[in-house]
Structure 1
């Protein structure tokens, strides 16, 4: 749900949204079959941004930079949780393949193509998580709440706090700086994430440690 550019997007009914997600999942399955066994599921591929879910994909350079950051932080045997950040997950998995434990917590069920790495996640129920996601079990959590609202950030923060055993990266609007500090104790970073398309709201990264990306800036 990367991008968080609009906190007032009209919402579908739960029934209509479920039907839409089922359609997307079937469409993605069919696309994968057409592409054949050589298809790289860790590529963005044909998964298009869905404005109903406030999705705005990161640029390739940003996604790769953040993926390298979290891999460096957690090491070879580390555990990474990507909350509402599928393009970062894709780059992490593309770089590390099966050597790291990576989970994608995401509402969009098109990403169920990632198998056991995918966990359905609804920020409205921040602690409704499978037993396999144990408390304080991830070396780093990187999150991109889908909407620029206090409720969305506070709820997502509950999930972050539950999963994290230490380091946190949050990607969201610059207008959320005070809340990010208040709720999660995060400071704004020098590194500025970019998207494949221009957003109306200024976008920033926040963390509770000094990013390698910032030291190189």
Structure 2
């Protein structure tokens, strides 16, 4: 049985034009990021959320609170790991001149951060350089919530990491309806 051209699905002209415009804009952003990566690090280039990667950026209030708590916890020259939370990087870098900051991230667009970027896949959490396994003073992690294997975190963070839920509730730029929590292995509420 063959399908004739008449039976194949077709997009309306408006839908096709919108799709082409979307792909054009996406290609322009990727080309701009490639150019910047090859020339120099420019931390002022905006990187949009990629919902296919379960990326949902924190709002400015959440960024400020998490950065301030981390810096209070480690002091002026601490070693900070950001795991799957790239929206904290810029503010952390601005406020923590003498801190060592590493962004562990799957999205290679963030390689524009140069030596501060380390490719990381939460599905292989132990694949980090051996010298980094006990290296950091504080680790801030935000695993992709919407993937099936990350959907229920409360029991895991208690059982595997001995983390306690904080009163602080992170919020996001696009007002996600999902509930989000913050866990720590220290009394984070004292530093808020």
Structure 1 residue 215 corresponds to structure 2 residue 185: no
Cα deviation for residue 183 of structure 1 reads: 1.7
Q: Distance in 2 between matches of 1:23 and 1:123?
A: 28
Secondary structure of the structure 2 residue equivalent to 1:142: strand
Partner of 2:132: 134
How far the C-alpha of 1:150 sits from its partner, in A, is 7.2
Q: How far off its partner does 1:58 sit?
A: 0.2
Q: Counterparts of 2:42 and 2:70 in 1: how far apart (Å)?
A: 21
Contact kept in structure 2, 1:24 and 1:110, CA below 8 Å: no
| Closer, same or farther: CA 216–118 of 1 in aligned 2, 3 Å | closer
- Compared CA separation, residues 84 and 109, structure 1 to 2 (3 A): same
Q: Which residue of 1 aligns with 2:165?
A: 188
Gaps of 5+ in 2: 1-26
Q: Aligned partners of 1:47, 1:198: CA distance in 2, in Å?
A: 18
Matched ranges for 1:57-68 at <5 A? 57-68=57-68
Deviation, structure 1 residue 182 = 1.4
Higher Rg of the two aligned structures: 2
Q: How does 1:99-114 map to 2 (within 5 A)?
A: 99-114=98-113
Q: How much has 1:130 moved relative to structure 2?
A: 3.2
Preserved CA contact (<8 Å) 1:192 1:203: yes
Q: Per-residue CA shift, 1:157-199, capped at 9, x if unaligned?
A: xxxxxxxxxxxxxxxx7x5322221121111101111100122
Matches within 5 A, 1:1-217: 26-30=31-35, 41=43, 43=44, 45-97=45-97, 99-131=98-130, 133-148=131-146, 151-152=149-150, 176-211=153-188, 214-215=189-190
Asked if the contact 1:80/1:141 (under 8 Å) is kept, the reply is yes
Runs of 4+ in 1 over 6 A off after TM superposition: none
Which consecutive residues of structure 1, in runs of 5 or more, have no partner in the other structure? 1-21, 153-172
Which structure has the highest strand share of the two? 1
| CA distance 1:79–1:200, shift in 2 (3 Å) | same
TM-score normalised to the size of structure 1?
0.67
| DSSP-derived class of the 1:104 partner | strand
Is the partner of 1:200 in helix, strand or coil? coil
Give the drift of 1:148: 4.5
Distance 1:187 1:79 in 2: 22
RMSD of aligned C-alpha atoms? 2.9
